Amino acid sequence: MTAMRVAALVALWLGLALVWHFSEAVPYLACIPPLAAFAFMAHFFGRTLRAGSEPLISRIARKSDPDMSPEVVRYTRTLTGVWSACFAALFVATLALMFLLPTEVASRWVQSLGCAVPVALFVGEHAWRHHRFPKRARSSLAVLVRNVLAVFREIASEAR
């Protein structure tokens, strides 16, 4: 059973247990979709770090630079791990917030963190990458989006 399925089952079980035992817990069911999304994204990035797999970000970067240097390959592998850890941390934070804060407050925090943390990581990494590799060619956001979509299409066709 994959990590994503385990996380989804845990989130479902948690939600059902809350409903079963505490009628006031019904509003916490709103946290199940973000839990599932964070678990899926952590798994989606993390599974590409297995031996014999190309890390997701390496695969995307290779669309613009087929002859990446070993240093860039290491960087993109590490970055894939950072993204996976980011989504795993958001999963854990969501679980914690569900039990530590009132429903409305927890929901706002989960929504805010679920948007702000990935955006901050994306923007921060972009700035760091330009500092770390100043001589490397820079692609536009449109090229990045095109490359991401191309890799997602490839992954979807491989899954069939």
How does pLDDT run along the chain (160 residues), one tens digit per residue? 577 777 777 777 777 776 666 666 566 677 788 999 999 999 999 999 999 999 999 999 999 999 999 999 999 999 999 999 999 999 999 999 988 988 888 889 999 999 999 999 999 999 999 899 888 877 888 998 999 999 999 998 887 7
The pLDDT score that the predictor gives to residue 69 is 93
> Other C-beta atoms within 10 Å of 124: how many?
10
The pLDDT score that the predictor gives to residue 1 is 57
The pLDDT score that the predictor gives to residue 18 is 64
Is the distance from CB of 82 to CB of 118 less than 8 angstroms? no
The pLDDT score that the predictor gives to residue 139 is 80
The pLDDT score that the predictor gives to residue 121 is 96
Alpha carbon distance 94, 34 (integer Å): 8
The pLDDT score that the predictor gives to residue 30 is 75
The pLDDT score that the predictor gives to residue 86 is 97
List the one residue out of 6, 82, 12 whose CA is nearest residue 39.
Answer: 6
Is the distance from CB of 101 to CB of 31 less than 8 angstroms? no
The pLDDT score that the predictor gives to residue 73 is 95
Structure-token pair, residue 96: 């914690």
